[in-house]
Structure 1
């Protein structure tokens, strides 16, 4: 690839705009027509191709790939050593059981040796845990680098010949998949609490992680939503979905088998919602292979199952059609899914525009229970649910959002908090939480963005050996 890029660089640095010529036969150096030589007249733009920029991008991709290989190596080494230590602990457990059964058969020296071995294994495990926990701090800088690479690739792709950039983009996709796999394995080792609600709430949000740039390579698709199925059916845990639009509506849904195909825009299922089914607003989710969204007619809510293609719609009488989020006139209903099930939020005129939370029965598509909050919806930019707790978000300034309010449906307690986080672009049309990976998904002015969340765990999960160490 570098050789071909070098050739292009030489051409672009020596040739300017000129007359287009074709291959011509039958012309030799003396102007004859013996046919012993072929010549080619070509032209290239006067501005040189940014070979340096592309080489920098390629070098950055290689650097990220190398770092990820090191991290994957650490994880593999960790798993191998933990297996070895677990075997030692099992062996020591057997020895201790023998000592307890036959105390007279062992002297104090034997017992002392066993205790020393236990302490040694304990020290080794602690040292191993400390060595691998540093991997967490590696991921965020890598995400920042990847965001910069995405921007550079799209700038080059939109300005110059896309075919030249395509090879580097393919390599970059491989690196993104490496990072996703590395994070997944790290998460399995150190965050076994996925799906657990043993925490007291969100305490931190990561920087925005840009997963995709300009939907359909067109900056006009400013509105939309994207994410993963919050309750995936078996063997479809890796499926992603997206819905992009040039207006505040939901008309098209695309499903992708995995993250790679999402990036490549290679969908396996496409649904165009007809005029009678079209959605209003962009606060939609896919839950259990079913699209939940707001419809235009009579400001109702609807669901469409992609397995059976069965459609159902309802009206929620108390919901006001006049009260939407601060930056939108169309977000009357906002669907959410968390560890405890399916929800929808809206505002009511009886409460003066305060948000209400409704728990939805998935089989009947009816409201099971409703809670009234103090959050005034016209001041809220978006909201989501985590473990039965509503988190409301508001705009602080041109680049900052803040989780400022929470309401716990279990205790009916509410509080004002401050967890700021950064937007990638000015306006966003969709923000929701996915319990399968504990991430926030945002559609931000045509960009697909995610955020990692940190929780205040009341029972912090750690990697533990089979036997408690003395």
Structure 2
């Protein structure tokens, strides 16, 4: 016989409500692990930040500036001594000249002293930074002991795995045509990073070296800034050396294209190159390329095919925006000057033409590609191969495409990455003189070294 006990549901509720709070079940959690030293981690972060602040590009610029000052004063001193030797009359003139030379020597001694102090300071900074890095590494290893779940260890393993699969380490071998340097393997840098003499003033512009310079101008650099509405400019600024460019001292000064601005001869857009003493750029308000000869100060015009997109209708773009007045991209490589553009006949795909030099330069040969221009952020040429980039993130740009003009072969899987110093690259060009890739982005001039194999 089974005995069944029936308790009304309301009675259960009543019993439940009658249980006093102090009789409720309470679990006490005891953590056997040591407490994480957050204060120590904060100290490590502060020390890292101080280390980063101490080592800045300004340190290098300070040294470059002192070297440039010394470089300029020594020839002046030599000139003054030569004048004294030639024209010394043994009287008042000689005494005054000696006084001038004495003052020059005093200034040079001060400059050398400051240079020595700066060099010693940099040496101390290097030693201190090395010691700090060792200490930081030791402290981070100690902090990793608290990572009982091995989150950091697994993350490091994942990073190693990514690096092993990273195409930058072993990029797809792009076609290279006939290149004296071998295959295009990778890019390192940035090597140079400077805002020059107009920091933050002109976001659009171009800079670089002449691959075929005139005698005596082998070390010169040039700079073009779009000074009006981020659209046009009417002069090119010249620098006698890289140091002059970095510290912002233009010895040769400006070469004005035309006093009337804007007009047909005005530079339109940031894609400008200098080759064999002539500046090549998009003529203002036209689908044409202008050639400004720096020696004769004359402008020659080369007309592009009918249907060429211009006046900001065929720009380079990323997912969020397009770069104004980048319809025509001028490029240099070992063989000369190229122009990259797009036409309505080619449905917005990249078109490439080679400039034939002469008294009246013309376009020699033209190639069409199957890559849509507005899916590209920039292009450059190297050894007869066209390379195209695309936006990956604010820190990274990818060289993803190549077109070999010698074979007509296209590739979309190059996979070489560029570390950016600014979110957008408005100008990109290759220098065959030293195999450097020059970029201009938001008034910052940056250069990268191309590695050939």
Q: TM-score, normalised by structure 1?
A: 0.55
Name 1:289's counterpart in structure 2: 277
Name 2:371's counterpart in structure 1: 375
Contact 1:395 1:402 in 2 (8 A): yes
Name 2:419's counterpart in structure 1: 422
The answer on 1:249 being equivalent to 2:249 is no
Contact 2:378 2:425 in 1 (8 A): no
The answer on 1:299 being equivalent to 2:287 is yes
Contact 1:224 1:248 in 2 (8 A): no
- Whole-Å separation in 2 of the counterparts to 1:222 and 1:375: 27
Name 1:202's counterpart in structure 2: 184
Write out aligned runs for 1:359-438 (5 A): 359-363=354-358, 364-416=360-412, 417-438=414-435
Contact 2:200 2:443 in 1 (8 A): yes
- Whole-Å separation in 1 of the counterparts to 2:337 and 2:212: 10
Name 1:226's counterpart in structure 2: 207
Name 1:164's counterpart in structure 2: none
- Whole-Å separation in 2 of the counterparts to 1:228 and 1:431: 13
Contact 2:197 2:249 in 1 (8 A): no
- Whole-Å separation in 2 of the counterparts to 1:401 and 1:54: 26
Compared CA separation, residues 308 and 374, structure 1 to 2 (3 A): same
Q: Pick from 235, 240, 254: which aligns with 2:216?
A: 235
Contact 1:323 1:353 in 2 (8 A): yes
- Whole-Å separation in 1 of the counterparts to 2:314 and 2:395: 24
Compared CA separation, residues 350 and 233, structure 1 to 2 (3 A): same
Contact 1:224 1:250 in 2 (8 A): no
Compared CA separation, residues 353 and 170, structure 1 to 2 (3 A): farther
Compared CA separation, residues 201 and 441, structure 1 to 2 (3 A): same
Name 1:73's counterpart in structure 2: none
Compared CA separation, residues 236 and 170, structure 1 to 2 (3 A): farther
Q: Aligned-pair distance for 1:211? A: 3.4
Q: Deviations over 1:208-229 (max 9, x none)?
A: 233322x434413111111111
Name 2:316's counterpart in structure 1: 325
Q: Deviations over 1:261-312 (max 9, x none)?
A: 2223222131234322221101001101110001113232101111111211
Contact 2:279 2:291 in 1 (8 A): yes
- Whole-Å separation in 2 of the counterparts to 1:361 and 1:262: 31
Q: TM-score, normalised by structure 2?
A: 0.57
- Whole-Å separation in 2 of the counterparts to 1:394 and 1:290: 29
SS in 1 for 2:286: helix
Aligned residues: 281
When structure 1 is superposed on structure 2, of 321-330 and 380-389 the one drifting more is: 321-330
Q: Aligned-pair distance for 1:235? A: 2.5
Contact 2:394 2:424 in 1 (8 A): no
- Whole-Å separation in 2 of the counterparts to 1:169 and 1:259: 22
Gaps of 5+ in 1: 1-51, 66-166, 176-195, 458-470
Q: Aligned-pair distance for 1:374? A: 1.2
Q: Deviations over 1:178-226 (max 9, x none)?
A: xxxxxxxxxxxxxxxxxx814553221113233322x434413111111
Contact 1:250 1:282 in 2 (8 A): no
Contact 2:226 2:269 in 1 (8 A): no
Compared CA separation, residues 399 and 211, structure 1 to 2 (3 A): closer
Name 1:112's counterpart in structure 2: none
SS in 1 for 2:245: helix
Name 1:351's counterpart in structure 2: 346
- Whole-Å separation in 2 of the counterparts to 1:406 and 1:244: 28
Contact 1:58 1:168 in 2 (8 A): no
Q: Deviations over 1:320-360 (max 9, x none)?
A: 22211113131111111111121111111111111111011
Q: Aligned-pair distance for 1:169? A: 13
Compared CA separation, residues 357 and 269, structure 1 to 2 (3 A): same
Structure with larger Rg: 2
SS in 2 for 1:207: strand
Contact 2:393 2:423 in 1 (8 A): no
- Whole-Å separation in 2 of the counterparts to 1:171 and 1:224: 33
Gaps of 5+ in 2: 1-50, 65-113, 123-177
Write out aligned runs for 1:60-459 (5 A): 197-198=179-180, 201-213=183-195, 215-246=196-227, 247-267=230-250, 268-273=252-257, 274-275=260-261, 276=263, 277-318=265-306, 319-321=308-310, 322-326=313-317, 327-363=322-358, 364-416=360-412, 417-455=414-452, 457=453
Compared CA separation, residues 315 and 212, structure 1 to 2 (3 A): same
SS in 1 for 2:243: helix
When structure 1 is superposed on structure 2, of 53-62 and 257-266 the one drifting more is: 53-62
- Whole-Å separation in 2 of the counterparts to 1:368 and 1:57: 47
Q: Deviations over 1:412-434 (max 9, x none)?
A: 11111111111101122110001
